[in-house]
Amino acid sequence: MAETGTTDATGEDGRPTLNRVIGPGLLLLFVVGDILGTGVYALTGKVAAEVGGAVWLPFLLAFTVALLTAFSYLELVTKYPKAAGAALYTHKAFGVHFLTFMVTFAVMCSGLTSASSASKAFAGNFAEAFDLSLGEGLGLTAVAVAFMTLIALVNFRGVGESVKVNVLLTCVELGGLLIVIGIGAWAIGGGEGDVSRLVEFDSPPGENAVLSVTAATALAFFAMVGFEDSVNMAEETRDPVRIFPKVMLTGLCITGVIYVLVAISAITLVSPADLGEGDAPLLKVVSAGAPAFPLTVFAFITMFAVANSALINMLMASRLLYGMANERVLPRVLGLVHRSRRTPWVGIVFTTLVAFGLIWFADLTALGGTTSLLLLCVFTIVNIAVLVLRRDRVEHRHFRAPTVIPVIGAVLCAYLASPLSGRAGGDYRVAGVLLLIGVVLWAATYAHRRLSNCPGHYT
């Protein structure tokens, strides 16, 4: 395959470019760390509440849907190795500015809501780990805002520093999940726990087993997202065309196996009813399987896990704005790169300010389902875009997914995003409000550029 990477500090127009410092190892840890975020630490109990003991099945199905969509992303990122990911692919495939803008906005919202939620979770775990009485208001909000500021400074410092912090945090959160798996294996091997729960289905009243599984899969899908964030780092990756396919598929398979093993350990040690109560299901698993294990240590591990989610999502959001600004879909100022740090500093400032607003004003407890819904809609579009862009030829060799895979991926993603899957109505209400805001912003951006006679890609 052709080498597409470059280490030049400036582009053809003389503007500074992003710094290509990410190799295969760092990219693998980025993918793994992004997927192993707050989702599995918080959602295992909620998935168990939907299906009972067969909690491993929704995670397995969510992994399958994610894997199919990953093939489409791999074809597109190796064909167009630039930042901006799904928004760029939508722009190239359909050329409709409104659709591109809304995909950009939806992906950005998913990243910022996830990062802001992680910041609040970090504040809560911080208070618990240090036994602080911060209350539910200003104290926790102040810690969350301070933490988001620290994330912005790391992001601005440089992508090299950011991915090194990601390596550390990924190792910590991976260690926490391996502790859960190890405790489960030790307990099961010693005859403790109830393995028979693994095949028990316990649907909520009024729901059949199939709807319960699909609803739980739609929820569990939130724990599997993250692989798509990595394509936004394509312009900071060395030879992305060559290394992305092996790294992304390896990362997805690693996380898929870990999630299923965590679900098995959790449900054999804690009943579905108990697992579904509260916001710290894995803490209950550790307490049940290893009462002597210091729970404060696990609280610290959880704190670092959600910190990693915030860091990676803020990296993604700023690179998304940078990439689409360079495509003239967003104002060019959002694509400015700091000359010495070589990071998209305007995009970092903008996304951080939006995150501050979400932390301060928004109730993010129910946004996990909304984030999943938005991304499933985006994934449906990406799976269609890969087929549309087959007619667009590029000079270098690239990964090509079997045609049937994006077709199946589009159908499954659309189904999980639809009411037919049993998804909660609140997800659609929150998503509708966010997308309505996006429509207003698009109209304002479009009108401004038309009045300014700015060149751009509009249809």
Tokens for 195? 């393995």
4 is a domain residue: no
Q: Evaluate if residue 79 carries a pLDDT over 80.
A: yes
**Cβ atoms of 317 and 108 closer than 8 Å:** yes
Pick from 134-143, 176-185, 325-334: least confident:
134-143
216 is a domain residue: yes
**By three-state DSSP, how is residue 22 classified?**
strand
Q: Tell me what pLDDT residue 203 has.
A: 65
170 is a domain residue: yes
Q: Evaluate if residue 216 carries a pLDDT over 50.
A: yes
Domain span holding position 426 = 24-452
Q: How many CB atoms lie within 10 A of CB 260?
A: 17
438 is a domain residue: yes
Q: Tell me what pLDDT residue 420 has.
A: 86
CATH (domain of 260) = 1.20.1740.10
Pick from 185-199, 322-336, 344-358, 440-454: least confident:
440-454
Give the total number of structural domains in the chain.
1
pLDDT band, residue 7 (cuts 50/70/90): very low
3 is a domain residue: no
Q: Of 316, 36, 51, which Cα lies nearest the Cα of 178?
A: 36
Return d(Cα 427, Cα 371) in angstroms, integer: 8
Residues of the chain above pLDDT 70, percent:
88
Mean pLDDT of the chain: 83
The set of residues, in sequence order, having a beta carbon less than 8 Å from that of 408 and lying 6+ positions away, is 68
459 is a domain residue: no
8 is a domain residue: no
The set of residues, in sequence order, having a beta carbon less than 8 Å from that of 271 and lying 6+ positions away, is 194, 197
CA gyration radius for the chain? 21
13 is a domain residue: no
For 11-70, write each residue's pLDDT tens digit.
555 566 667 778 888 889 888 887 886 667 767 888 888 888 888 999 999 999 999 999
For 405-437, write each residue's pLDDT tens digit.
999 999 999 999 999 887 777 788 878 888 898
Tokens for 434? 């966010």
